[in-house]
Structure 1
Amino acid sequence: MTLKRYLGLTAALLAVAISPALAEGLDELNPAVVERLYNKDMLDPMQPVGPSAWREFKAKNPPPWKIGYASSYAGNTWRAAAMDELQNTIIPEWQSLGLVSEVVVTQSNLNDATQIQQMRQLVDQGVDAIIVCCSNPTALNATVKYAADRGVPVFSMTGYLTSEYSVNSSVNYQVAGYEIAREVVEQLGGKGNVLVVEGIPGTSGSDSQHRGVLAGLASSPDIRVAGQVAGMWTDQVAQGEVQRWLATNPGQLDAIVVQSAAEMGVLRAVQQSGRGNIPVAIGGELGALCYWRKNPDYITAAYQVWPPADEIQLIWNIMMRTLQGQGPKVQSVLVDPVKITHQDLAEVMGEDCNEDSPDWLAVGASRWGQDPAYLDDFFLRPADPRAYKP
């Protein structure tokens, strides 16, 4: 069952489900992509999808550009992997192209006030653009406007900001959460008790995916949500939360749906609990994928919802295109979640893999929105950003 079927939409309704206001900007995109990822009944209602404020933008300075990365958190394997890709792959490449001078990185440790202060400082220090990650969808809006007024666009990856001046990129989290939950429902034969482990409540990516998960579980009347805890996208936190929940809830538990990056912690909690081999939804952590590689019948599929290296490459690509004047059509560039079967996994991972690995599986740029045939469609004047000559 798909999310469209769950919501009771017919093919006729899908054809008119985009309201006139929503269609502005979206009417310039591939209709199949709009129907699949931007349909109002399949989208987080807060996701900004109107025309981009940067359609006719031209950078105030010529390259090489100075970029700010106002990270909100550094305490999990996902953030470490994204930072590694930025520092060891992206920055050297774009500096060698002569398009970037430096990237200034700040960390706010989930403190909105600190992140706001750091972003304003980056603007005042003369950056040409700012990237943020996984932030509160509304708290930064005044600061995004502060940056926009000074010709500095803000790009939000792995979640959205609701400011009309932000440019956002991510998977459609509501669809992704639904598909993950539906996979668990089908594996359980439509009946059972499921524990739900959220990410960081209050962030757009976590809340959108959580909404989709609950809808997917609710699609079967014989599935019961046995409990909900917050894993904070961190293995150690999720392990402790799930251990406490299991210790105080001795009843039947048939599966756990968890948002990455926390599945390794949940797996360890289950293994240490003595409660049997409870299936845990797996995302992109290599340690958890390795466990599935060695135990083929453990789950039926994994879903890549935010592979860190691919995510930061995507927002960087969007940012560079915008600075080059390519003109983003809409506020949010959305991509599809990537389903991984055990056969897919076996082709890239041997049985000698490491179950303690903190690394992440990359699905590759072409599968994560960066195939030119896909990403070009989101820009008014598309071109290869690496070939840019000012």
Structure 2
Amino acid sequence: MNELQNVIIPEWKELGLLDEVIITQSNLNDSTQIQQMRQLVDQGVDAIIVCCSNPTALNQTVQYAADKGVPVFSLTGYLTSPYAINSSVNYQVAGFEIGKNMAEQIGGEGNVLVVEGIPGTSGSDSQDRGVKAGLASAPGVKVVGSVAGMWTDQVAQGEVQKWLATHPGKLDGIVVQSAAEMGVLRAVQQSGRGDVPVAIGGELGALCYWRNNPDYITASYQVWPPADEMQLIWNIMMRTLQGQGPKIQSVLVDPIKLTHEDLTKVMNEDCSVDSPDWLSVGADRWGGSSDYLDDFFLKPADPKKYTAK
């Protein structure tokens, strides 16, 4: 929302290519989101962006929008309707890399707790499948539990605390979907098991902990940098509205691996573990560059230079 409201909207208004952005919040309720989408279509919007959606629940509403000439764009996950355009990281590949890295970090054997995101959403389910496949790449690794962190630090902290309290046995690692790693880190530390490695994504607080504890983990994977995600879907939407003609339904990008050396180049020692912000990897690295997106359109052009004909 910060990227949208303070960067994207002012820039595109100045270009004369944007009138208004209407923001709604469904709080994970499919029925509410469906109602909001239909109201937006009836109000005459030109396009709709949805986030983190159930892959099938919105399909009829996407069809409703398409019938009235309103394209729907889904970020951070996908919709299965043929009338939707999707963009995100390849969540299954990302999950596999994270799971495989954890398996390697614990020496190919041990007990691992998996913290999912929001079960039922496409991004969460795809990443969870990938994580478990990555962990299974080492036969000696056993998944001893799975809880839902809901991509929220407070929820993940509570769920992991409850799990740890009822499972006092040996635990060698925790794989968590970002954004919930800081909550899991706090739960582990408060339980007295601070030596258990936790997968870290893009939360600056968690990255700061790793910045100042170099041997804690071996790598971090950027799966969902929200500012960059918004830039990516926004550019796809604008290109589509300008008639550039998307070739395929889904634009996927690769997860970005960070080593501790990489982290030291973008984060100082005086960082804060209480930071609520996110690491931005930059649109050029996250698929938002013109050269990358040009390949996905029949008539590619810089969307910021568009003039109505």
TM-score range with shorter-chain normalisation? over 0.9
Match of 2:191 among 270, 273, 283: 273
User: Hey, what does 2:23 align to over in structure 1?
Assistant: 105
Deviation at 1:375, TM superposition (A): 1.1
Query: How many residue pairs align between the two structures?
Result: 308
Q: State the alpha-carbon separation in 2 of the partners of residues 97 and 309 from structure 1.
A: 20
Deviation at 1:163, TM superposition (A): 0.3
Deviation at 1:372, TM superposition (A): 2.0
How far does the alpha carbon of each residue in 1:128-153 deviate from its partner, in whole angstroms, 9 at most, with x for none? 00000001100000000000001100
Say which SS state the counterpart of residue 281 (structure 2) adopts.
Answer: coil
Q: Tell me, yes or no, if structure 1 residue 86 matches structure 2 residue 4.
A: yes
Q: Tell me, yes or no, if structure 1 residue 247 matches structure 2 residue 198.
A: no
Q: What is the alpha-carbon root mean square deviation over aligned residues?
A: 0.5
Match of 1:283 among 193, 198, 201: 201
User: Hey, what does 2:295 align to over in structure 1?
Assistant: 377
Deviation at 1:374, TM superposition (A): 1.4
Deviation at 1:275, TM superposition (A): 1.9
Match of 2:93 among 175, 188, 194: 175
Say which SS state the counterpart of residue 156 (structure 1) adopts.
Answer: strand
Deviation at 1:172, TM superposition (A): 0.5
Match of 1:184 among 94, 102, 127: 102
Match of 1:355 among 273, 278, 299: 273
Q: State the alpha-carbon separation in 1 of the partners of residues 180 and 241 from structure 2.
A: 35
Q: State the alpha-carbon separation in 1 of the partners of residues 302 and 237 from structure 2.
A: 13
User: Superposed, which structure 2 residues align to 1:87-236 within 5 Å?
Assistant: 87-236=5-154
Report the AA paired with residue 207 of structure 1: D
How far does the alpha carbon of each residue in 1:183-239 deviate from its partner, in whole angstroms, 9 at most, with x for none? 111111101110000000000000000000000011111000010000000000000
Deviation at 1:371, TM superposition (A): 2.2
Q: Tell me, yes or no, if structure 1 residue 306 matches structure 2 residue 224.
A: yes
User: Hey, what does 1:36 align to over in structure 2?
Assistant: none
Say which SS state the counterpart of residue 236 (structure 1) adopts.
Answer: helix
Say which SS state the counterpart of residue 348 (structure 1) adopts.
Answer: coil
User: Hey, what does 2:238 align to over in structure 1?
Assistant: 320
Say which SS state the counterpart of residue 31 (structure 2) adopts.
Answer: helix
Q: State the alpha-carbon separation in 1 of the partners of residues 289 and 109 from structure 2.
A: 39
Report the AA paired with residue 243 of structure 2: G
User: Hey, what does 1:37 align to over in structure 2?
Assistant: none
Deviation at 1:120, TM superposition (A): 0.3
Of the structure 1 ranges 145-154 and 366-375, higher mean CA displacement relative to structure 2 is found in 366-375
Q: State the alpha-carbon separation in 2 of the partners of residues 99 and 316 from structure 1.
A: 12
Say which SS state the counterpart of residue 367 (structure 1) adopts.
Answer: coil
Q: Unaligned stretches of 5+ in structure 2?
A: none
Say which SS state the counterpart of residue 78 (structure 2) adopts.
Answer: coil
What is the aligned-residue identity percentage? 80
Q: State the alpha-carbon separation in 2 of the partners of residues 192 and 131 from structure 1.
A: 42
Report the AA paired with residue 152 of structure 2: T
How far does the alpha carbon of each residue in 1:306-344 deviate from its partner, in whole angstroms, 9 at most, with x for none? 100000000000000000000000000000000011111
Q: State the alpha-carbon separation in 2 of the partners of residues 298 and 226 from structure 1.
A: 21
Report the AA paired with residue 74 of structure 2: S
User: Hey, what does 1:13 align to over in structure 2?
Assistant: none
Q: State the alpha-carbon separation in 2 of the partners of residues 268 and 121 from structure 1.
A: 41
User: Superposed, which structure 2 residues align to 1:30-69 within 5 Å?
Assistant: none
Say which SS state the counterpart of residue 20 (structure 2) adopts.
Answer: strand
How far does the alpha carbon of each residue in 1:100-156 deviate from its partner, in whole angstroms, 9 at most, with x for none? 100001111111011000000000111000000001100000000000001100000
TM-score (norm 1): 0.79
Match of 1:261 among 163, 179, 182: 179
TM-score (norm 2): 0.99
User: Superposed, which structure 2 residues align to 1:6-25 within 5 Å?
Assistant: none
Say which SS state the counterpart of residue 144 (structure 1) adopts.
Answer: helix
How far does the alpha carbon of each residue in 1:320-369 deviate from its partner, in whole angstroms, 9 at most, with x for none? 00000000000000000000111110001000000100000000011001
Q: State the alpha-carbon separation in 1 of the partners of residues 202 and 229 from structure 2.
A: 12
Report the AA paired with residue 386 of structure 1: K
Q: Tell me, yes or no, if structure 1 residue 292 matches structure 2 residue 245.
A: no
Deviation at 1:276, TM superposition (A): 3.5
Report the AA paired with residue 155 of structure 1: F
Deviation at 1:257, TM superposition (A): 0.1
Deviation at 1:370, TM superposition (A): 1.6
Deviating runs (4+, > 3 A) in structure 1? none
Say which SS state the counterpart of residue 233 (structure 1) adopts.
Answer: coil
